[in-house]
């Protein structure tokens, strides 16, 4: 099952397409050998600083809340 089902991130709703596109493009380019590993990690850094960090934090908080709610049932 997908543990992210039912979780919400304001930042992902706002920037998800842009963030996904950036990291997917970098991943594909790295796999195809078009960029080096250091270039991939630079793209990751940009992704992280452009909203990725907030997405991770928001989903982490939502997941922890989901676990707390489940433990109360």
Confidence of residue 11 (pLDDT cuts 50, 70, 90): very high
| Distance (Å, whole) CA 61 – CA 25 | 28
Over residues 26-70, the pLDDT tens digits come to 999 999 999 999 999 999 999 999 999 999 999 999 999 999 988
Q: Structure pTM? A: 0.83
Phi-psi region of 41 (alpha: psi -120 to 50; beta: other; left: phi over 0): alpha
Torsion angle, alpha carbons of 49, 53, 54, 55, to 10? 120
């Amino acid at each position: 099952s997908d543990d992210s089902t039912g979780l919400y991130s304001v930042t992902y709703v706002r920037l998800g397409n842009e963030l996904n596109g950036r990291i997917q493009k970098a991943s594909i380019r790295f796999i195809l050998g078009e960029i080096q590993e250091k270039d991939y990690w630079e793209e990751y850094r940009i992704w992280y600083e452009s909203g990725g960090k907030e997405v991770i934090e928001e989903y982490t908080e939502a997941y922890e809340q989901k676990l707390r709610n489940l433990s109360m049932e």
